[in-house]
A = this chain, B = another copy of it.
Amino acid sequence: MTRKELFEQIKKKESFLCVGLDTDLSKIPSHLLKEEDPIFAFNKAIIDATADLCVAYKPNIAFYECMGAKGWESLQKTLEYIPKDIFTIADAKRGDIGNTSKMYAQAFFEQMNFDSVTVAPYMGTDSVTPFLEFDNKWVILLALTSNKGGLDFQIQELSNGRKVFEEVLTQSKEWGSSDQLMYVVGATRAESLGEIRQIIPDHFLLVPGVGAQGGDLASVAQYGMNDHCGLLVNSSRGIIYASQEENFAEVARQEAQKLQGEMKGLLETYL
């Protein structure tokens, strides 16, 4: 999917919502456990209930990997079930030396046909560029993450005056265009969005941390939105585990609707 196509979807659906498919056997409604593939059955119901309200789905790969080969199959089936006009994110946070990153890129872009994959920047340019060699595929690079430990190294100041995450943005924006590179910035770091937009005015940002992690959607839009929206705001637990009863999908839809309604207003205000 191109940046233009993604923006078209955002305008059409009046939404920049990404639904995180962090599907955990111990948290899904118990009546699904009798299904042949409970993980896929849950994801299918969530996708059916939310596909008209969101522009992206983001399975966190850890939740599938911890189930071994079986989890990998559930992930593949889920990916195939997602409508083709919805952007897909493999939240994998990979990154390795060049020939190895190439294997990861093949895993997510060829073996699985995801639109994008999240990548960790610590190993630098040759750990990221192999992911950039695929047409119409995206790297979403970690910049400033939403978790507490995000403050341990990312905001440390370098002797050149930049913080570590600013150095990551400054160097990496030269590795590819804003048509193939996005950045992860946690919603809990909305106060930094202004300075981030100084460095990367055009790039899309994937913003986790709204909801369970406490980030504020209005602040994210106020400081982070650009002229093509430039935001994908993710909610995982707040939507998919809003209810653990038989009507879980309906309640998930209601939570997604609340966020989509708020997003519609923010798009009208800032776009």
Give the distance to chain B from A264, nearest Cβ to Cβ, in Å.
28
Provide the residues of chain B in CB contact with A45, threshold 8 Å.
none
Provide the residues of chain B in CB contact with A168, threshold 8 Å.
153
Provide the residues of chain B in CB contact with A164, threshold 8 Å.
153, 156, 158, 164
Contact with B along A132-157 (1 / 0, CB 8 A): 00000000001001111111111011
CB-nearest residue of chain B to A157 = B159
Give the distance to chain B from A106, nearest Cβ to Cβ, in Å.
5
CB-nearest residue of chain B to A103 = B62
Provide the residues of chain B in CB contact with A97, threshold 8 Å.
145-147, 213
CB-nearest residue of chain B to A145 = B123
Say whether A128 faces chain B, with CB atoms less than 8 Å apart. yes
Question: Contact between B148 and A125 (Cβ–Cβ < 8 Å)?
Answer: yes
Give the distance to chain B from A171, nearest Cβ to Cβ, in Å.
6
Provide the residues of chain B in CB contact with A103, threshold 8 Å.
24, 60, 62-63, 65-66
Q: Which of B66, B95, B100, B142 contacts A60 (CB 8 A)?
A: B100
CB-nearest residue of chain B to A159 = B157
CB-nearest residue of chain B to A186 = B97
Question: Contact between B124 and A150 (Cβ–Cβ < 8 Å)?
Answer: yes
Say whether A67 faces chain B, with CB atoms less than 8 Å apart. yes
Q: How distant is the Cα of A152 from the Cα of B73 in the complex, in angstroms? A: 37
Q: A124-B150, A156-B160 are in contact. List 6 more A-B contacts (CB 8 A).
A: A22-B100, A68-B76, A91-B96, A93-B95, A120-B123, A123-B150
**Sorted from nearest, which 9 A-B pairs have the closest CB atoms?**
A124-B149, A124-B152, A62-B103, A66-B107, A69-B69, A69-B72, A125-B149, A126-B149, A97-B147
